[in-house]
């Protein structure tokens, strides 16, 4: 019985882990967006969520807020919807900035 409960908890926690991985985004899809449009989208998203326009996430794994990062896979995501939305916006702004820097969109020509 105990093993069954543990197995069910681990299986249920997979749903929350998938939600956390949505916050990691690649900048490559943004390369297809026109530079001026991408900068406009980035600025609007950053302003809407109070994120600095030049924000770049340095690491792909974790943000340092978890006390036990190895247990994130089996712990539920207790953040509110606003925190989840802001974290997704941070990931988007960071990915957009990766594309903007790589293509030198904001450099004077």
Q: Residue 108 domain-assigned? A: no
Tens of pLDDT, residues 45-61: 999 999 999 888 765 55
- Other beta carbons less than 10 A from residue 13's beta carbon: 17
Cβ neighbourhood burial of 42 (10 Å; 0-12, 13-18, 19+): buried
- Domain range for residue 74? 2-103
Q: Are 103 and 42 in contact (CB under 8 A)?
A: no
The answer to whether residue 109 is domain-embedded is no
Number of domains into which the chain is organized: 1
Q: Mean pLDDT, to the nearest integer, of 2-8? A: 73
Task: Report the 10 Å Cβ neighbour count for 30.
Answer: 22
Look at 1-5, 32-36, 37-41 and tell me which has the smallest mean pLDDT.
Answer: 1-5
Q: Do 41 and 95 touch, CB atoms closer than 8 A?
A: no
**17 contacts 73 by C-beta, under 8 angstroms:** yes
């Amino acid at each position: 019985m105990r093993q069954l409960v543990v197995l069910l908890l681990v299986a249920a926690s997979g749903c929350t882990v998938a939600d956390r991985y949505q916050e990691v985004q690649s900048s490559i899809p943004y390369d297809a967006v026109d530079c001026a449009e991408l900068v406009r989208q980035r600025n609007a998203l950053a302003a809407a969520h109070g994120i600095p326009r030049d924000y770049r996430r340095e690491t792909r794994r974790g943000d340092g807020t978890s006390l036990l990062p190895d247990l994130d896979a089996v712990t539920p995501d207790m953040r509110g919807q606003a925190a989840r939305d802001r974290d997704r916006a941070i990931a988007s702004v960071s990915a957009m900035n990766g594309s903007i820097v790589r293509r030198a969109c904001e450099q004077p020509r």
